[in-house]
Amino acid sequence: MPKVVDHQARRVQVADAVQRLITERGLDQVTVARTAAEAGVSVGHVQHYFSTKDEMVLFTHERVVQKTLERVSALEERSRRERLPIRDVVVDGLAEWLPVDPPRRSAHRVTLAFVGRTVDNPRLAQAHAETGRLIRSMLAGAVRNGKECGEVPADSDPDLAALELHSLVEGLALQLGSDPDGAASRSALDLVSARVKAVFPGRCRQYE
């Protein structure tokens, strides 16, 4: 019986190796040979699934984003079970994008490497723009839900609020990425919490 090959699992195996190399040594150290050695596979294996370095970086970044979005979705599911205010979910969801612990710092290192490659690669630039639009769309949806339940003032602009919160987190991520100090991380989380509370100052009527 022919062997069934899980091609997605093999691509993920390479992507995980790329992420470890970026995290520990930087993007310049990501080569096909080093990636193959890190993943424990042959050079031909890597080249079978990725024809260029940018393809490896793109897939690795997509995997990092997907894992972050899965954690955010889990927060939303928990909020419904525990009847949490929307602002609490938004605070925790935004925190998933901040490099405040080793796993999230590793993800941020991949993002920085990826963004650097977008300057010369339109395909990567488009993927980066799509990720940003998705995050802002999710934030705007949360603001609209907040308006419906009473946490957000009726005259608030969901798109503007989403842009503010997304820009804040992206800026803080850059700062923390270059100076991952524990006190700075706590201050960043406090700032995110304060700005979200300013957008969601009310109480949700659906839980009363």
Cβ count near 43 (within 10 Å) = 14
Work out how many domains the chain is built from and give that number: 2
Which structural domain range is residue 149 located in?
52-207
Confidence of residue 142 (pLDDT cuts 50, 70, 90): very high
Task: Identify the CATH number of the domain in which residue 57 sits.
Answer: 1.10.357.10
pLDDT digits over 52-110, tens only? 999 999 999 999 999 999 999 999 888 888 889 999 999 999 999 999 999 999 999 99
CA angle 152, 76, 202 (to 5 degrees): 20
- The SS3 assignment for 148 reads helix
- 41 and 79 in one domain? no
- 57 and 22 in one domain? no
Residues in Cβ contact with 155 at an 8 Å cutoff, skipping those fewer than 6 apart: none
In 3D space, the residue among 25, 171, 177 whose CA is nearest the CA of residue 101 turns out to be 177
pTM of the model: 0.91
Q: Which alpha helices (DSSP H) does 42-101 contain, by range?
A: 43-49, 53-82, 86-95
User: Residue 83: what pLDDT?
Assistant: 87
- 71 and 172 in one domain? yes
- 146 and 93 in one domain? yes
Cβ count near 40 (within 10 Å) = 9
- What CA–CA distance (Å, rounded) separates 91 from 77? 15
- 81 and 12 in one domain? no
- 146 and 44 in one domain? no
Q: Are 192 and 168 in contact (CB under 8 A)?
A: yes
Residues in Cβ contact with 187 at an 8 Å cutoff, skipping those fewer than 6 apart: none
- 93 and 195 in one domain? yes
Q: What is the mean pLDDT of residues 41-54?
A: 94
pLDDT digits over 109-123, tens only? 999 999 999 999 999
